[in-house]
Structure 1
């Protein structure tokens, strides 16, 4: 009884908050995220504001935390309690509904039938709201299991087995790995893969039934070979045979997919399909398979452009937006050369993706970024990112840029929204500079050194260790945040911005990702 009353109170509070903001936002989108990490929750919510979108998600405590999976059944109850007529679109993570999120998808904690039964809620949403645009995502399981502190003895061996076992020329290595991996762990992995493939196929079926208006089936961290190839080819054949290639995309990625779908929802809503020219730092980089990906960089970019509803063009003169993709940071002189090219770019909207081509840095290139900051390029940039994998970076910078373009469309019919959309754009750009670049490139390496000097594992910190490292990172970030905001706009623009109340959190008790928040003041 007490839990029922508490649920009612939470729903009423949520309704009241949503009603208050509904008077301002032009668009409302319901979001069931992949999990509660910043790229899956904070980024879509904040990015939405750039296009005057209120993104509404379930209460955070229902979304789980790292190895504590999300409460799928409670999320389904929350969904059923929503007034769908008050939303313009919905973005649904099938993995959150089925297993409680991305980490939950990598273990066989939920039987296949229960997972499929849970996803039936999407059919229910469609019946209740026939006109609601519903966008879905479903993840193809990655090669490696999650590092949970319990599988250290065999995790890398299992990932290696997943990579080599389909190769008949490597049967001896496969057998050796199978002998080194606990049989129960290998069996659980195989069952999880089989179940996930069933759920992927079910999601495609929902697109065939027009329950999903658009679906992205995304490949989590992978390599050019492995057990995932068979799964992907199976799903690709299903899509082709059903003539669903315009409704279902099968492409790299995971964490960034909600942002891609947010951009897709807005390009559909406003019939805004910008022509975009991708410009690479080198042709060699464009044709290289980036770490944790299974196809060349150029293909990943093209997939993402299609996913957001943009039109890729070859002639820069025809483009509405120029998408600069830097993936040559280890080539001498390339950072300065490509930065200068961007600084001298034509008077068009620009998007910048700074991709780590080795996979061991996971932040932005320092000379490249500092050159752009010095020229105040980010003040006129539509979208930017430089975190983790190529897919993560491309899939954040691109929808960021799309939402910035959408804001200009919205402002034409609703000029009163322009100031708050501009505020949101500056906030999100500064957040990328502080999180993607400053934290991952400058602060995190030093934080990791401190961890190791104290014999702490930066990937599994205790609660006390987390608080210590959070305090250190916040102290290091504060002066950089102040300087970054002060130099954001060109001095001749007359515009100024100030960051106050900077907050820093390690949401999964590890240094791998951070959640950064702050208050922003803009003045002229």
Structure 2
């Protein structure tokens, strides 16, 4: 018996720790959840993991959530939350959805400051007054700083022209504040100030200032105990950036708020999964122990793309956010988390031609490490962050050859590295509450999305898109969307059979899986898995 874990868990419960007095008093086994948009990974893929454990997750009608074109309906969402919260043991709520309408809306809105304040008060302070015993977990974004103009589809129109310069300009301002500038950098800053239209920089900074005040208000609500737990995530970020500057200032404003009440973290899209996992851990009355290991090379000190800190710091924070505890040995760990990092600490793009099945310097040794812990019958999870937005083909091919894929407890390799590591932590913790067949059901969407689609099929569809009738490209498939979906579905079914994924327990229906592009772009896909 793990007496150390029992003692720590009881101590946390008695002292208020990560629990809010609900862990030992389970009611409806129900969590109310509002995501920050309707993307599959943000919404139903995450929800399905919680439901697989037998929990009831109440979600709003999808037409109230934001998407690429519809920026959301925050007032209707707040009304829905207020009307449904009485059914829940926990509420996990996106501040971006309830204040701005959606994550994309938070970057493009022109909403007056007083309206933002009123929405935040109605969504959280008034909700707490109405349901004083309901733990309210809130996750919000510290507005991102895209490093290039390529991200312009989710930014104001001027970012398409000046985004790269705006990112560099604010990075130099941040560096000047933190470390000082060299002579050439001072001149570069002056040149950028002249090159960026004042109207563009004024608009961008004014919106940021408004969002910053909303985040300060959310911290105040947390200090007043209207919000039980607040997490502010840094969307696309860098060590020198306006996002990192605002994070530092918000952390300072939070002051002495306990770590079990407030946290900022690198990463954002994974936070819904992380806080849902925290709620489950509280309902289960458990604090999962997580032992962490990295691939050979730079490993734990890797500063991945879209982040401002070493991955070891993000992982430690994500474990804490999810209600777990990082431990130094695998002996008593509930989860052994392995992070696949590039030997030199570089994040590549998963759709890059270099992402092949040819083994790299540390691929075999990483697979050997996974095999070692699987042989010891440990619960093994893998965060595949060598590449951004997709799996490492060499690693996945090797894990498949060795028969490790159906034995894992968690896997993630989507979007940014911190998205993947956070999601893998949540998935690994949740898997301890169910059997391996249910765990496989949670793993399959990750294998189909990150490995088969993102790292392979995505580029094949992109290469053929121009030959389809109609109009459309990678970023907006337009009238070619149906043809792209049909071709991606054909490739997906071929790969499912090739790798025998339809032969896994309970997965015979996989050979009828379908691929959809709900946001009419190839960057993300929804893989629909039919019932038996």
Report how far residue 255 of structure 1 moved: 0.8
Look up the match of 2:324.
Answer: 310
Is contact 1:67–1:148 with CA below 8 Å preserved after alignment?
A: no
Instruction: Spell out, residue by residue over 1:352-395, the C-alpha distance to the aligned partner (whole angstroms, 9 max, x if none).
Output: 111035x4xx2111121122123332322211101121111011
Look up the match of 1:8.
Answer: none
Report how far residue 112 of structure 1 moved: 1.9
Instruction: Spell out, residue by residue over 1:398-441, the C-alpha distance to the aligned partner (whole angstroms, 9 max, x if none).
Output: 11111111336xxxxxxxxxxxxx66532221110000111011
Instruction: Spell out, residue by residue over 1:238-276, the C-alpha distance to the aligned partner (whole angstroms, 9 max, x if none).
Output: 22x233322111111111100000111111121211211
Alignment partner of 2:473 out of 448, 457, 466: 457
Counterparts of 2:105 and 2:34 in 1: how far apart (Å)? Answer: 15
Look up the match of 2:53.
Answer: 51
Counterparts of 1:113 and 1:244 in 2: how far apart (Å)? Answer: 29
Is contact 2:34–2:60 with CA below 8 Å preserved after alignment?
A: yes
Structure 2 counterparts to residues 312-461 of structure 1, below 5 A: 312-328=326-342, 332-345=360-373, 346-357=376-387, 359=388, 362-407=389-434, 424-451=438-465, 456-461=472-477
Q: Say which SS state the counterpart of residue 287 (structure 2) adopts.
A: coil
Counterparts of 1:502 and 1:115 in 2: how far apart (Å)? Answer: 42
Look up the match of 1:93.
Answer: 94
Is contact 2:29–2:283 with CA below 8 Å preserved after alignment?
A: no
Q: 1:506 to 1:187 in 2, by over 3 A?
A: same
Counterparts of 1:381 and 1:147 in 2: how far apart (Å)? Answer: 37
Counterparts of 1:486 and 1:393 in 2: how far apart (Å)? Answer: 21
Is contact 2:334–2:429 with CA below 8 Å preserved after alignment?
A: no
**2:278 is equivalent to residue 264 of structure 1:** yes
Look up the match of 2:169.
Answer: 161
Report how far residue 198 of structure 1 moved: 0.8
Alignment partner of 2:491 out of 476, 481, 488: 476
Instruction: Spell out, residue by residue over 1:76-121, the C-alpha distance to the aligned partner (whole angstroms, 9 max, x if none).
Output: 2222322x33211110111111111111111242122211211112
Look up the match of 1:22.
Answer: none
The CA RMSD over aligned residues, in Å, is: 2.3
Counterparts of 2:295 and 2:318 in 1: how far apart (Å)? Answer: 18
Counterparts of 2:472 and 2:190 in 1: how far apart (Å)? Answer: 35
TM-score, length basis structure 1: 0.85
Look up the match of 2:118.
Answer: 117
Q: 1:85 to 1:160 in 2, by over 3 A?
A: same
Is contact 2:475–2:523 with CA below 8 Å preserved after alignment?
A: yes
Is contact 2:235–2:267 with CA below 8 Å preserved after alignment?
A: yes
Report how far residue 485 of structure 1 moved: 5.2
- Stretch deviating more after TM superposition (162-171 or 425-434): 162-171
Q: Say which SS state the counterpart of residue 211 (structure 2) adopts.
A: helix
Report how far residue 487 of structure 1 moved: 6.2
**2:287 is equivalent to residue 273 of structure 1:** yes
Q: Gapped runs of 5+ residues in structure 2?
A: 1-26, 345-358
Look up the match of 2:260.
Answer: 246
Counterparts of 2:54 and 2:201 in 1: how far apart (Å)? Answer: 47
Q: 1:478 to 1:153 in 2, by over 3 A?
A: same
Is contact 2:334–2:432 with CA below 8 Å preserved after alignment?
A: no
Counterparts of 1:501 and 1:487 in 2: how far apart (Å)? Answer: 10
Counterparts of 1:388 and 1:80 in 2: how far apart (Å)? Answer: 32
Look up the match of 1:136.
Answer: 138
Is contact 1:272–1:406 with CA below 8 Å preserved after alignment?
A: no
- Stretch deviating more after TM superposition (273-282 or 495-504): 495-504
Instruction: Spell out, residue by residue over 1:462-503, the C-alpha distance to the aligned partner (whole angstroms, 9 max, x if none).
Output: 2x12222111111110122244454664xxxx8764425422
Look up the match of 2:233.
Answer: 218
Is contact 2:382–2:411 with CA below 8 Å preserved after alignment?
A: yes
Q: 1:26 to 1:77 in 2, by over 3 A?
A: closer
Instruction: Spell out, residue by residue over 1:292-314, the C-alpha distance to the aligned partner (whole angstroms, 9 max, x if none).
Output: 10001111111111111111111
Look up the match of 1:199.
Answer: 214
Is contact 2:28–2:87 with CA below 8 Å preserved after alignment?
A: no
Is contact 1:108–1:189 with CA below 8 Å preserved after alignment?
A: no
Look up the match of 1:237.
Answer: 252
Is contact 1:280–1:326 with CA below 8 Å preserved after alignment?
A: yes
Is contact 2:296–2:366 with CA below 8 Å preserved after alignment?
A: no
Q: Say which SS state the counterpart of residue 268 (structure 2) adopts.
A: coil
Instruction: Spell out, residue by residue over 1:269-292, the C-alpha distance to the aligned partner (whole angstroms, 9 max, x if none).
Output: 212112111010025121020001
Counterparts of 1:37 and 1:404 in 2: how far apart (Å)? Answer: 23
Counterparts of 1:108 and 1:187 in 2: how far apart (Å)? Answer: 14
Is contact 2:141–2:235 with CA below 8 Å preserved after alignment?
A: yes
- Stretch deviating more after TM superposition (162-171 or 127-136): 162-171
